[in-house]
Amino acid sequence: MTCPAKIRAVAAALAILALAAVPARALVTLNDGTDKIYVSGTWSMGYDTNISASSDNTSDTTTSASASIEYQRRAGMIGVNANINFTLNRFLRNTTYDNLDPAYSLEFDKSTGRTTGTLNLNAVRSSQTDAAVNLYTTSWNYNASLNLHYPVIDRYSLAGTLSYGLLDYTKTSGQPLVNLSTYSSSLSLFYILSEQRDLFASYNYSYQESSSSTSTTDDGLNLGVHGKVFWEINGSLSVGYMIRDPHGIVAADIAAAAVAPEGSITDLTASASLNWNFNRKLAFTGSLSKSLSTTATDATTDTLAASLDATYSINARLSAATGIGGGENRFFGPGGLLTGTDVERRDYYFTWNANVSYTFSERLHASLSYAYFKNWSNLGFATFVRNSLTLTLSSRW
């Protein structure tokens, strides 16, 4: 890192800390409260024992500073949310990983009338460790989505989604990666079973095209419940069935998968997001997911992941949290086979985290977090352990 770059990095971090000291009057309210502008800042410092999520075990001390401006408008039929954020990440020794990531988002929200919905537009530059390819990657993520909800009669309603996404890798610490374009849609039917519970059925379709001239089409059907799932546990739970048809891939290259004669990959899917308030101080949240996805090496993965987290409010200012998780990743396709073999890559992982957070005031929040991640794989390079410790200060006004 050059001397001017170091000066800019330090100046940005100091600016974030200075902003955190600004009193609440910095919040801007216009037009009798219908228009609001928020400014927020975050600064963090930490140590990561494995920044590449691989057997290289490259460790480093990291610092990060971010600043964002958020605009909200609540007037008329359409609400507006806009956000601009810049995040500066610096590494003490591995300076080639240094980055400045902008993020832009715009949302139009219609929450009144018979038909409601949102239109979302996002552009985010993301620099992060990808355990599926065992590299530190930088990419632009562009997304546009339209979500609509229409009540048919008292108990029945329809919901639909149209979306487009582009994942464009601009920088990696190793091999070139595959860019992905995704077109997707869904249609859901909701039935109000009671005041506390809805049943739903949904059909999902997506078409994904990669920069390596391959593509896939996905068809999925899901059935589930939303609201009070059982006992005092709230959230959503669904199960389904998914068919993925690969194109531009030789059938023999995906022979390790549960492949039908025509080359389709079939999979049972599941999704759950649950929460349980045990009492006023202790709350639990759990998640479960099983689905097919595509990695940056153009491999199809069958991913099973589960986690359980607990949060305990010690008092009005101090809280603690911890959680565990684990899962399995099966890799299909030419990008998912071990080099020189027809054996599919298979990973298993376990993770544990702990966090303590303290609220100094309405405008200043601090947290200290630790995370442990262990990955086992029949690909030697992908077997690793990762520990990280991070101190974070944040403010919003």
Where are the chain's structural domains? 67-83+104-396
Which stretches in the chain have pLDDT values below 70?
A: 1-27, 172-174, 249-262, 334-335, 340
Q: Are strands 384-396 and 156-172 parallel, antiparallel or unpaired?
A: unpaired
Neighbours of 259 (CB within 10 A): 17
Closest Cα to residue 128, out of 119, 136, 139?
Answer: 136
Q: What is the pLDDT of residue 249?
A: 58
DSSP state of 343: P
For 257, residues 6+ apart whose C-beta sits below 8 A from its C-beta are: 265, 300, 302, 330, 332, 333, 344
Closest Cα to residue 316, out of 362, 250, 256?
Answer: 362
- φ, ψ (nearest 5 deg) of residue 297: -100, 15
Q: What is the pLDDT of residue 27?
A: 67
- Give the global pTM: 0.84
Q: What is the pLDDT of residue 338?
A: 75
Q: Which two tokens stand for residue 341?
A: 């073999």
- Asked if residues 266 and 243 have their Cβ atoms less than 8 Å apart, the reply is yes
For 213, residues 6+ apart whose C-beta sits below 8 A from its C-beta are: 248
Handedness of CA 149, 152, 158, 161 (dihedral sign): negative
Q: Which two tokens stand for residue 346?
A: 């298979």
- Asked if residues 323 and 291 have their Cβ atoms less than 8 Å apart, the reply is no
Where residue 57 falls (left for φ over 0; alpha for ψ -120 to 50; beta otherwise) is: left
Q: What is the pLDDT of residue 173?
A: 62
Q: What angle do CA 255, 256, 258 make, to 5 degrees?
A: 85
Q: What is the pLDDT of residue 231?
A: 86
Q: Which CATH architecture has domain 67-83+104-396?
A: Beta Barrel (2.40)
Closest Cα to residue 117, out of 76, 73, 158, 166?
Answer: 158
Neighbours of 142 (CB within 10 A): 15
State how far the alpha carbon of 190 is from the alpha carbons of 113, 230, 353, 368, in Å. Answer: 18, 18, 36, 41
Q: What is the pLDDT of residue 363?
A: 87
User: Model confidence over 304-345: pLDDT tens digits?
Assistant: 999 999 999 999 999 999 999 999 999 987 667 777 677 889
Q: Which two tokens stand for residue 321?
A: 């949290």
Neighbours of 262 (CB within 10 A): 7
